[in-house]
Structure 1
Amino acid sequence: MYDIVVIGGGVSGFVAAVNAKRFYPSKKVVVIEKNPKKLIPCGIPYIFDTYGIDDDLMHLEKKLKKFNVELITKEVRSFDVNSKVIMLSEASGESCASGSRAEKETGENNTDANDTNILKYEKLIIATGSKPFVPPIEGIENAYFIKKDYDYLKDLVSKAKNASDITIIGGGFIGLEIADELSKTKNVTLIEAMDSLLPNSFDTDFSESVKELLSKKVRILLNSKVSKITKEEVLVNSRTIKSDLTIVATGYKPNTEMFKDVLPLNPKGFIQADDYFRVSKDVFAIGDCVEHKEFFTSNPTPLMLASTAAFDARVAAANLYNLRIIRHNKDALNIYSTVIDSKTFAAVGITEKMAKEQGFDIIVAKTVTHSTHPPKFSHSTDVTLKLIFSKKDLYLLGAQLSGGLNSAEIINILSLAIQKSATATDLYTMQIGTHPILTPPPTFYPISATAAEALKES
Structure 2
Amino acid sequence: MSRIVIIGGVAAGPKVAARARRLMPDAEITIIERGRLISYAGCGMPFYVGGQVKDFNQLFATSYGVIRDEHYFMNEKGVKVLTRTEAKAIDRQKKEVMVTNLDTGETSTIPYDKLVLATGSSPVVPPIPGLELKGVHRLNHPDDARQIVEQLEGVSEAVIVGAGLIGMEAMEALLKRKIFVSVVELKEQILPGVLDPDLAAVLAYRLEEEGVEFHLGKKVLRLEGDEEGHVTRVVTDGGTLDAQMVIVAVGVRPNVELARAAGLTIGETGAIAVNEYLQTSDPDIYAVGDCVENLHLVSGRKVYIPLASTANRQGRVAGDNVAGRKSKFKGVLGTSVLKVLGWNVGRTGLGEQQARDLGYDVITAINATHDRTHYYPGHDNLLIKLVVDKKSCKLLGAQAIGGGDAIKRIDVVATALHFGATVDDLFDVDLGYAPPFSTPIDASHHTANIVRNKLDGLARTITARELKEKLDRGDDFILLDVRTPEQFNYRHIEDDRVMLVTLGDLRRRIDEIPRDKEIVTLCALGVRAYEAMRTLTGAGFKDVKFLEGGLQGWPYELE
**Counterpart position of 1:220:** 214
Counterpart secondary structure, 2:152: helix
- The two structures, once aligned, show a CA RMSD in angstroms of 2.4
Counterpart secondary structure, 1:220: strand
Return the alpha-carbon distance in structure 2 between the equivalents of residues 376 and 93 of structure 1: 63
Counterpart secondary structure, 1:233: strand
**Counterpart position of 2:529:** none
Relative to 1, partners in 2 of residues 1:160 and 1:301: Cα closer, same or farther, differing over 3 Å? farther
2:152 is the counterpart of 1:160: yes
**Counterpart position of 1:384:** 383
Instruction: Please tell me the residue identity of whatever aligns with 2:183.
Output: L
2:57 is the counterpart of 1:54: yes
Q: Is the 8 Å Cα contact of residues 180 and 218 (structure 1) preserved in structure 2? A: no
1:22-421 equivalences under 5 Å are 22-38=22-38, 39-49=40-50, 50-52=52-54, 53-58=56-61, 59-61=67-69, 64=73, 65-73=75-83, 74-92=85-103, 117-142=108-133, 144-184=136-176, 185-215=178-208, 216-230=210-224, 231-237=231-237, 239-262=239-262, 263-266=264-267, 269-279=270-280, 280-327=282-329, 329=330, 331-378=331-378, 380-404=379-403, 406-421=405-420
The percent identity for this pair of structures is 27
Q: Is the 8 Å Cα contact of residues 201 and 350 (structure 1) preserved in structure 2? A: no
Per-residue CA shift, 1:393-413, capped at 9, x if unaligned? 111100011234644232122
Q: Give the superposition deviation at 1:57.
A: 2.5
Q: Is the 8 Å Cα contact of residues 375 and 381 (structure 1) preserved in structure 2? A: no
Report the TM-score, using the length of structure 2 for normalisation. Answer: 0.72
Q: Give the superposition deviation at 1:270.
A: 1.7
Report the TM-score, using the length of structure 1 for normalisation. Answer: 0.87
**Counterpart position of 1:435:** 434
Per-residue CA shift, 1:403-456, capped at 9, x if unaligned? 34644232122112111101112111111223332x212x22012222222222
Counterpart secondary structure, 1:78: strand
Counterpart secondary structure, 2:438: coil
Per-residue CA shift, 1:321-344, capped at 9, x if unaligned? 5453245x4x43211111121120
Q: Is the 8 Å Cα contact of residues 342 and 405 (structure 1) preserved in structure 2? A: no
Relative to 1, partners in 2 of residues 1:426 and 1:405: Cα closer, same or farther, differing over 3 Å? same
**Bigger relative contact order (CA 8 A; separation at least 6):** 1
Q: Is the 8 Å Cα contact of residues 9 and 36 (structure 1) preserved in structure 2? A: no
Q: Give the superposition deviation at 1:247.
A: 1.1
Return the alpha-carbon distance in structure 1 between the equivalents of residues 421 and 238 of structure 2: 50
Q: Is the 8 Å Cα contact of residues 370 and 382 (structure 2) preserved in structure 1? A: yes
Return the alpha-carbon distance in structure 2 between the equivalents of residues 162 and 276 of structure 1: 51
Per-residue CA shift, 1:217-249, capped at 9, x if unaligned? 221101100111122111111522211111110
Structure 2 unaligned regions, length at least 5: 62-66, 225-230, 456-559
Relative to 1, partners in 2 of residues 1:127 and 1:375: Cα closer, same or farther, differing over 3 Å? farther
Return the alpha-carbon distance in structure 2 between the equivalents of residues 125 and 401 of structure 1: 36
Q: Give the superposition deviation at 1:86.
A: 1.9
Instruction: Please tell me the residue identity of whatever aligns with 1:305.
Output: L
Larger Rg: 2
Return the alpha-carbon distance in structure 2 between the equivalents of residues 353 and 321 of structure 1: 42
Counterpart secondary structure, 1:457: helix
Instruction: Please tell me the residue identity of whatever aligns with 1:90.
Output: N
**Counterpart position of 1:110:** none
Instruction: Please tell me the residue identity of whatever aligns with 1:83.
Output: K
Return the alpha-carbon distance in structure 2 between the equivalents of residues 67 and 403 of structure 1: 41
Q: Is the 8 Å Cα contact of residues 160 and 182 (structure 2) preserved in structure 1? A: yes
Instruction: Please tell me the residue identity of whatever aligns with 1:194.
Output: K
Return the alpha-carbon distance in structure 1 between the equivalents of residues 105 and 292 of structure 2: 20
Return the alpha-carbon distance in structure 2 between the equivalents of residues 451 and 332 of structure 1: 22
Relative to 1, partners in 2 of residues 1:374 and 1:232: Cα closer, same or farther, differing over 3 Å? closer
Relative to 1, partners in 2 of residues 1:144 and 1:302: Cα closer, same or farther, differing over 3 Å? farther
Q: Give the superposition deviation at 1:153.
A: 3.0
Relative to 1, partners in 2 of residues 1:339 and 1:188: Cα closer, same or farther, differing over 3 Å? same
Structure 1 unaligned regions, length at least 5: 96-104, 106-116
Q: Is the 8 Å Cα contact of residues 180 and 214 (structure 1) preserved in structure 2? A: no
Return the alpha-carbon distance in structure 2 between the equivalents of residues 94 and 452 of structure 1: 64
Relative to 1, partners in 2 of residues 1:397 and 1:161: Cα closer, same or farther, differing over 3 Å? farther
Return the alpha-carbon distance in structure 2 between the equivalents of residues 334 and 367 of structure 1: 22
Per-residue CA shift, 1:63-102, capped at 9, x if unaligned? 634333332223323331221112333244999xxxxxxx
2:455 is the counterpart of 1:445: no
**Counterpart position of 1:114:** none
Deviates more, 1:221-230 or 1:308-317: 308-317
Relative to 1, partners in 2 of residues 1:375 and 1:122: Cα closer, same or farther, differing over 3 Å? farther
Q: Give the superposition deviation at 1:290.
A: 1.3
Q: Give the superposition deviation at 1:144.
A: 3.3
Counterpart secondary structure, 2:27: coil
Q: Is the 8 Å Cα contact of residues 11 and 310 (structure 1) preserved in structure 2? A: yes
Q: Give the superposition deviation at 1:368.
A: 3.0
Instruction: Please tell me the residue identity of whatever aligns with 2:132.
Output: E
Relative to 1, partners in 2 of residues 1:85 and 1:260: Cα closer, same or farther, differing over 3 Å? same
Q: Is the 8 Å Cα contact of residues 127 and 285 (structure 1) preserved in structure 2? A: yes
Relative to 1, partners in 2 of residues 1:424 and 1:149: Cα closer, same or farther, differing over 3 Å? closer
Relative to 1, partners in 2 of residues 1:346 and 1:317: Cα closer, same or farther, differing over 3 Å? same
Q: Is the 8 Å Cα contact of residues 371 and 381 (structure 1) preserved in structure 2? A: yes
Instruction: Please tell me the residue identity of whatever aligns with 1:272.
Output: A
Return the alpha-carbon distance in structure 2 between the equivalents of residues 118 and 200 of structure 1: 41
Q: Give the superposition deviation at 1:192.
A: 0.4
Per-residue CA shift, 1:99-136, capped at 9, x if unaligned? xxxxxx8xxxxxxxxxxx43211111110101110011
